Structure 1
Amino acid sequence: MPRLMHDQPGWLAIAALSFNLQGIALAQSALSAENSVVNPTTPAAPASSAKQPYVDKLIESLQSASELNAEEDDFNSAGWSRSWHADYSLLSEKVLSRRTFQALSLGGFIDTPDYGALSLIANLSRQQSSSLSQTYQYRSSSWRIDQRGMPLGGGWRANYSAGDINTGLTSLARGTGRISLPSSPIHGISSQGYSGADLEIQAATGKTGLFNGLGLTSFNTSSGQLSTLGAQIKLPSDLSSGRSHAALQIIEGQRLTDSDGAHMDTRAIWLAQSWEGKAPWATELRPGNPAPAERRGGLRLQGNLLQSTDISSGSGSGSGSGSGSNNKGNNHRALGLWADANWRSERWRNSAGGFRFEPNLRWGSMPLANDIQGIYWQADSSTRQWQYGFSTELSDRISHTSAESDGRSAFFNLNGRYRIDSRSSVGANLNLRALNGTGQALALNWDRSNHWGQTQLRADLTRSGEVTSKRLGVDHSWATAAPASLNTTLAWETLSGGANSGKSLIWGLQASLPSTSQWSLDAALRGERRSNSSEALNADLGLRWQSTGGWSLSLRYTESRGRQLQQQQVLSALTAASLPAPTQLPAMRSLQLLLRFEEHAGKTYAPLGGAPGSAAGSLSGVVFYDADGNDRREVSEGGVPNITVILDRRYVTRTDSQGRYEFQAVVEGQHLVEISSDNLPLPWSPLQRSAIKVNIHVREASIQNFAVQRDK
């Protein structure tokens, strides 16, 4: 970033100090003249004792005007605002065998008045692995181009993306209730045109694939092909009667692979309509800017219909006991229906709905919750001291394979928190599930703030099936100078019943020192030691040095060994049906060295949304799994990789393998930042689904974390 003269601290102080020194010197000379008149006999000072020139040792290290002008001349102010960076990475990784990666990454953006903001990120890596006496070499790549906010005239704007992206969704498809459509990763192109909130059109097509890699992100394509088309329109209505939207989305896939490894084609169509306004039973709708459902007397309704058809080709390892020819053309048609209602009363914020998902229901390459039907109701309220809420769900299977299999389930959750005073609060959470999948879970916690930071004591008692878990832990967020942070955790757990019976000691540490100077540091350590002498460790340590010439050097060490046991939980049937199959990563160890050069240019430079000469800061944070639902990142809560983060609905970046993101050189002032739910596994969803306002301060690192929570 160029150093402009008015950005240098102390110029007004120097001028004022110079003016004051001149005034003091004049006063002293006048006083000396007066003394020489009053005391004419005072002898003159010898020539050797003449005053030396005044030197201010406190400000002599400041740069001279010539040096500042030279720095201004080095900055290229011609053309549009733009920046670019080049990275070279060297990664050594040991999983089952030793692997070495070399990667080159190029990225940048240019902000134009007529074509929107264009950004590019591209990665090219080469891998060399050794196994026994053989050596293998592989090449992989990942790239993405975005053009956002391109004006088309008539109030229309467009967003375009190409490369390793995700299929788009309309705002109604993202949902405001417990159920939403998933987004699939593809290697292809997508486009979106919109005219305010009145009309939106989306389209995308590409090859299916998966994001993978820990230290270096890459994208592996498969043989499948996905295409999607969607539209959303605001229906004409009287302003006093509320507002209504309708949406349609179609997705088609060819040569996709199901869970058994067989190839199939799939088609699905989704229809939805929403309405929001004053509730029929309310006397008035409280005025304000939030959505009607967030205001007293407001109501929002949305109905959804989804139909999917799968045509299995019978080719693959999992085609069943019969031959592939016998299964060819086997069709599975499924219907999904769900409706959500959100309303706000004088005290309570409510959400209720019903759902019916037939077996084999899916959306493109992503399976949905299926073979389940039921209803639910959630409500919460808060006062100055109290926060409390409840949720309940009744569900049943649609298909019953045998008389003994009873799919009926009842779930109830009760939670509350009481603030004792300005420093202390207590909370409790109770989960009960009856009939099918019986379980009980009770969690108690106590928070206390002091001059050392904030301490939380937690006690958990869970019984799920034949397994009983008892856990007692303490979490502490240490008082540090902002924006640095230091969190520690220590817990004891006892498991009885099942294959993992025994006692465990769980510990963790999380530290962060953002780039307020030339150095930045982040560290996350989590470990577990069990009574059977087995251990587990996850470590992620990073160190970064930033020079003044655009160069930076980063060193990152990661290690994972052993298997950490998942904490026992009691979930509702709908949430459990949406969970993906658990995966276990092999033990690994890696060391990465990254060298980066970054440069900015442009006469309107303040890269992310500024005017000429505007001062800037930076924005960074973490997208993390908020397992305990307290909107605060604990040491045991990991980051979410490959999540799209959008600044001012114009600038785009992705989280890395640890869930971190960063926007450098953001103009000071208020901005909007939000995350997209692409690559977010169901049933996790962002706690804040709308954009969040953040304030950027000059030469400061602003932190904004995003919590994603799972339905109970």
Structure 2
Amino acid sequence: MTASGLSGQADRPTTSGWRYAGALLLGAGPACVLAQQVQLTPTGLPPAPAGYVDRVMDDAGPADDALGLKPSEYNAQGWPRSWRVDYSLYRARGTYGAGTGAGAGGFGNASSTHAIDLSAFIDTPNHGSMSIAASQVSQRFNSAGYLEAGNASTWRIDQRALPLDGGWYADHAAGDVSTSRTPLARGTGRISLPTAPIRGLAGQWRREDGAELNASAGNTGVFNGIDIAGFETSGGRVATAGAQWRLGSGQADLAGIATGAALPRQEVAVQLLDGRGVDNAGGFGFARQDTRAAWAATAWESAAPWAEGVAPGSLPVAERRGGLRVQLNALRSDGSLDGGATGLWADAAWRTERWRNTAGVFRFEPNLRWGTSLIASDLQGAYWLADTSTRQWQAGYSVELTDNVGGARSLAGSGLVTGTGTSTGKSAYLNANGRYSPDTRNTFGASLSVRAITSPGQAAQLSWDQRSDWGQTLWRAEVARALASRTTRLAIEQAWAVTYPATFSTSLARERLTGGLTPSDGWIWGVLGTYAFARQWSLDASVRGSRRSDGADSLNANVGLRWQPSAAWSLALRYTQSRGQEPLAPLVVSALTEATLPVLPLTQNNRSVQLLLRYEGRAGTSTAPLGGAAGTGSGSLAGTVYFDEDWSGRRGAAEAGVPAVTVVLDRRYVTRTDAQGRYEFPYVAAGDHSIEISPDNLPLPWFPAAREPQRLTVFVRTAATFDFPVQRER
């Protein structure tokens, strides 16, 4: 009884005391009878114990999941494994394109396509984890009255975490993969060594002390396709080899790195490339050449000279207070057409009490390349990025100064609002951005970008992110100006509050373009959602479009209806349409970012209807050595990789998915996003996991918002969702 309770008893009328005394007297009678019974019981016999009653609510056992495997149906023999087989029928009509996507062919093609897709995973106790993903496409289409037929395929097999003697682990891949590179090649700052898609072999061998070897070889090509993510070779060949190791006695002591005791630490890496018949632009129809390239780098991390030490923690050293990481890079390339070129750059990343900083200097001679990819050639300069944040606010800025190595040249825009100036080649760029949350329901944001001298332009953005009973609303106003053109866009994005597992988001924007050659105005809209309207039925839709006064309309639709009568079988009907070029965000970018932008691909106009029959299953029981953990319950994991145009960290209805991106679970299991940016691991052990995406196939200048592996938890018989936003530099 609390003190207030005692006080309340003392303040009661005296009649309560008489009632209390009466209750004691009433209880005294039974107490006396019980006392007499106890005295009459013989002392030599113990009292009979009361019988235990198990309070079971229902002896029927746990309820079965209507769509899940019952224990009696599950095959527990063998290693843990899962598989999925899809058989698809397409009817499509396309107006442009060539590739494995349904509807490929010439103008006005009508096509019919049969496709078989296979994906499978198996976990072995001594040979690592195996993953396979393969597609075989057979197509017939009518082009200008002529019947034609074609076949295409894409496939990939991965073996991860294969244990070897001496503490080594191996990752092997075959099929449509990317060329290998060392961890240092991913870079510390804004510049990294690119990879190239190939059809061939790739391998990486690593040891816990930081040593790593890699090699890859195959035919160059590109990922393509609308309904099916395919791969088409381009005629060249590329081979790479590399190594990375740690100098001195610095071992991979995670505890020492976390506390700072294992610092300073220095690493060295080299990577070699040999290309034969490589396309100059990495695609088709351009001049071919033989090329060779060599890259070397060294990285050093420790406490910054101005800091007393590195704060303990599990984050990388450069992201902890007092930590500093510096990386020096040198690249040399020689081509039979381009000649020789050299690139030098240095990056540094450090953390002060409040700010995270990244700075670098670079010098790239003209025609510098790495295999099929051109590096930001004919450019030199320096940059500085910084940001800071708390629970309530965030602020950041970036500064860049650049010039050309080979004299004046045009820095013409490549689709973004950057202008077409042809000045001396010098350029200055500044961006400042911030967010502020006065409470848990409102967040205000602002961003300003200014580019001067060459290709001058300005861009500004204001946003208001509001949470309410209706859901989450993002109001955004954008304006960009470059030379004689000006773009203004007002947008609203709404993530509606609906009952789980349904999701529903919409977006609407009004855009106006003044000045320039083709002034226009129009609407940009999008709808994104999922809905399970019955126990075995679900609907998903992603529709984006624009309507403009100059006739440059666009539409990108993907709508599917799925029926799953059992855990193993499902049937889906899907409609897709792609028409016109989607509007680009009004941005002003720096010269370094612009120099790495790829050429925009030609738009494929296509519409198709797909009927997909799917069979999936799982079996096996995991084994473990002494001290290891045996198998547990399972769930599933799925999500999307998408272009985060507004840096909001959540997918808007008008934001597209990223196809052909490699997703890695626990550094062991590999899958790839489909043409709409979706991925799925259908059978995942319950518990904590790490998941990451490989930036190898991301188009520049996009990069993962989270570069480190992300932690998540999968619960038994639950479908976990994890989306990866990819963002461009501000």
The structure 1 residue matched to 2:118, chosen from 103, 106, 111, is 106
Structure 1 residue 336 corresponds to structure 2 residue 335: no
Deviation sequence 1:289-339 (CA, Å, 0-9, x none): 111111111101001101111113xxxxxxxxxxxxxxxxxx511111111
Matched, 1:698 2:716: yes
Residues in 1 aligned to 2:177 and 2:712: alpha-carbon distance in whole angstroms? 26
Give the aligned partner of residue 328 of structure 1.
none
Structure 2 regions of 5+ residues with no counterpart?
1-56, 96-108, 251-260, 411-421
Q: What are the ranges of 5 or more consecutive residues in structure 1 without an aligned counterpart? A: 1-57, 313-330
Measured in 2, the distance between the counterparts of 1:547 and 1:296 equals: 54
| Pairing of 1:618-697 with structure 2 (within 5 A) | 618-697=636-715
The 5 Å alignment of 1:45-444 reads 71-96=70-95, 97-237=109-249, 239=261, 241-259=263-281, 261-312=286-337, 332-400=339-407, 405-444=423-462
After superposition, give the CA deviation of every residue in 1:434-460 in whole Å (9 maximum; x if it has no partner). 000100011001111111101111111
How far, CA to CA, are the matches of 1:452 and 1:197 in structure 2?
52
CA contact (8 A) 1:77 1:604 kept: no
The 8 Å contact of residues 207 and 223 in structure 1, kept in 2 or not, is answered as yes
Q: CA distance change for structure 1 residues 237 and 354 in 2, over 3 Å: closer, same or farther?
A: farther
**Counterpart for residue 725 of structure 2:** 707
C-alpha offsets along residues 240-272 of structure 1, whole Å, 9 cap, x if unaligned? 541111110001100111147112001000101
Deviation at 1:59, TM superposition (A): 7.9
Q: Is the 8 A contact 1:464 1:569 kept in 2?
A: no
Conservation of the 8 A alpha-carbon contact between 1:361 and 1:367: yes
The equivalent position to 1:586 in structure 2, one of 604, 608, 615, is 604
Match of 2:18 in 1: none
Query: Secondary structure at 2:297's aligned position in 1?
Result: strand
Within 5 A, what are the aligned runs for 1:457-476?
457-476=475-494
| C-alpha contact 2:662 2:694 (8 A) present in aligned 1 | yes
Distance, in Å, in 2 between the alignment partners of 1:636 and 1:433 is 27
Whether the 8 Å contact between 1:515 and 1:701 is mirrored in structure 2 is no
Could you tell me which residue of structure 1 aligns to residue 8 of structure 2?
none
Q: Contact between 1:617 and 1:696, CA under 8 Å: does it hold in 2?
A: yes
Contact 1:82 1:605 in 2 (8 A): no
Distance in 2 separating the partners of 1:273 and 1:402:
33
Match of 1:644, as an amino acid?
T
Q: Give secondary structure in 2 for the equivalent of 1:631.
A: coil
Q: CA deviation at 1:176?
A: 2.6
User: Is the CA contact 2:332–2:341 (under 8 Å) kept in the aligned structure 1?
Assistant: yes
Q: TM-score, normalised by structure 2?
A: 0.83
- What are the within-5 Å matches in structure 2 for residues 539-550 of structure 1? 539-550=557-568
Offset of residue 107 of structure 1? 2.6
CA, structure 1 residues 666+515, in 2 after alignment: closer, same or farther (shift >3 Å)? farther
> Contact between 2:234 and 2:279, CA under 8 Å: does it hold in 1?
no
Match of 2:22 in 1: none
Q: 1:574 and 2:586 equivalent?
A: no
Equivalents in 1 of 2:61, 2:186: separation in Å?
54
Whether contact under 8 Å (1:483, 1:701) holds in the other structure is no
**Aligned residue pairs: how many?**
632
Match of 1:50 in 2: none
Task: Describe the shift of the 1:483–1:390 C-alpha distance in structure 2 as closer, same or farther (beyond 3 A).
Answer: farther
Distance 1:192 1:485, change over 3 A: same
Deviation larger for 398-407 or 416-425: 398-407
Contact 2:470 2:496 (C-alpha < 8 Å) held by counterparts: yes
Asked if the contact 1:127–1:138 (Cα under 8 Å) also holds between the matched residues in 2, the reply is yes
Provide the C-alpha distance between the structure 2 equivalents of 1:236 and 1:432, rounded to a whole number of angstroms. 45
CA RMSD of aligned residues (A): 2.4
CA distance in 2, matches of 1:157, 1:522: 40
Contact 1:483 1:702 (C-alpha < 8 Å) held by counterparts = no
With over 3 angstroms needed to count, the CA separation of the structure-2 counterparts of 1:465 and 1:514, relative to structure 1, is: farther
Question: Aligned in 2, Cα 1:92/1:612: closer, same or farther, shift over 3 Å?
Answer: farther
Structure-2 change in CA distance of 1:521 and 1:244 (3 Å): farther
Alpha-carbon distance, 1:559 to partner: 0.9
Q: How many Å separate the matches in 2 of 1:417 and 1:86?
A: 46
CA distance in 1, matches of 2:610, 2:312: 54
Name the CA distance, whole Å, in 2 between partners of 1:699 and 1:64: 12
Residue 185 to residue 647, structure 1, CA distance change in 2 (3 Å): same
Q: How far does residue 493 in structure 1 lie from its aligned partner after superposition?
A: 1.2
Aligned with residue 620 of structure 2, among 602, 609, 627: 602
SS of residue matched to 1:678:
helix
Q: Give, as a single letter, the amino acid of the residue that structure 1 aligns with 2:514.
A: S
Q: Is the 8 A contact 2:217 2:239 kept in 1?
A: yes
SS across alignment from 2:185: helix
Do the aligned partners of 1:247 and 1:272 also contact (CA within 8 Å) in 2? yes
Between the aligned residues of both structures, percent identity stands at 47
Q: Provide the rounded CA distance (Å) in 2 between the counterparts of 1:683 and 1:535.
A: 26
* SS of the residue 1:560 aligns to: strand
Distance 2:61 2:535 in 1: 18
User: Letter of the aligned partner of 2:204 in structure 1?
Assistant: Q
Give the TM-score, by structure 1 length. 0.85
